[in-house]
Amino acid sequence: MTNFPLPIIRIAVLAPQGCSLLSYGAIAEPFLLANQLLEQHKYHLTLIACAEPCVAPPAGVVLLDEAQLANLQDYDLLIVIAEKPPLQPLSTAIKKALQRYYQQQAGQLLAVKAGVWWLLESGIGLHQKIVVHWSLMDDFKDCYPDVMLSHDLYQTDLRLSSCAGQLAIVDYLLGYLDRQEGAGLANQISDHLCMDRVRGGSERQRLPSQSLGDLQPRLTMAIDLMENNIEEPLTTEQIAELVFISRRHLERLFRRYLNTMPARHYLQMRLKRAHHLLQTSNKSIVQIGLICGFSSGPHFSSTYKSFYQTTPRQERAKYLGVK
């Protein structure tokens, strides 16, 4: 409890294409709890959205227009959030507004999930290591092949930070509140949220077989190698050599803990990546096959059909709504 007024910190959540209720809740709840525990309305949160949200959040909502863009510099923290990359080219007004905010050398910028597209398209963060949600990484690499991409939960910098989104938002904001208020308040908030621990930004987004990590680190290492070598698959012998065990030992680990063989698990991982790309990208079926480690179209098609009971072409047609 504080006995004197605290300086107000104004936070804007800029959602040019809207955002999910989960994402907004993950942003709002830590600040609402901070105000409750401080017994003062120190953190003022405003959602700047392209349209009225379907459920009114517990903070001010204003529509995204030129007046609001002109006032972005009034905020101490600007959070740019999007669930998907821009559906259309960014307007000159929004680019200039983001550039002005960044150039003022005062406020902090946080890009969440696909929000980094808006910053990079405005010329902000092109020479920094960037975090996006793992499901957006392929699209990001296509758009920005020269920008450093991190698999971490979030990256923190003095002026510009980026976060994978979803529940990683809470981890990032607890770190932010720790820096603002000290560890005591951040720990209280994590207790209120029933969190057993606060994850650090350097933790990976997708730890393969996380529950096996401490028990079977070699198995975790092997799956990690598979995830990072989808386009040019490794052989089972190569994977075993890289994790410093024999092929037979590696196969025993997969049979015991995952009830499968390494090659089968690897193939399913590549097919699941292909399934995701067929539904979310505009790449051709041949390109997707190559990206997922299949050397020929017929091989990709027959293998995909044996696993999903449909061909890649039929999967793409279903996604596009073609009868």
Per-residue pLDDT at 245 exceeds 90: yes
Distances in Å between the alpha carbon of 278 and those of 159, 187, 270, 288? 37, 42, 12, 7
pTM: 0.68
The model's pLDDT over 177-222, given as tens digits with 9 standing for 90+, comes to 999 998 789 989 999 999 888 888 888 786 555 555 555 788 888 9
Higher pLDDT, 117 or 63: 117
Domains of the chain by start residue, with CATH: 9-192 (3.40.50.880), 210-320 (1.10.10.60)
Tens-place pLDDT, residues 77-89? 999 999 999 989 9
Q: Tokens for 158?
A: 């003095």
Lowest mean pLDDT among 60-64, 174-178, 188-192: 60-64
Confidence of residue 261 (pLDDT cuts 50, 70, 90): very high
Averaged pLDDT for residues 82-101? 92
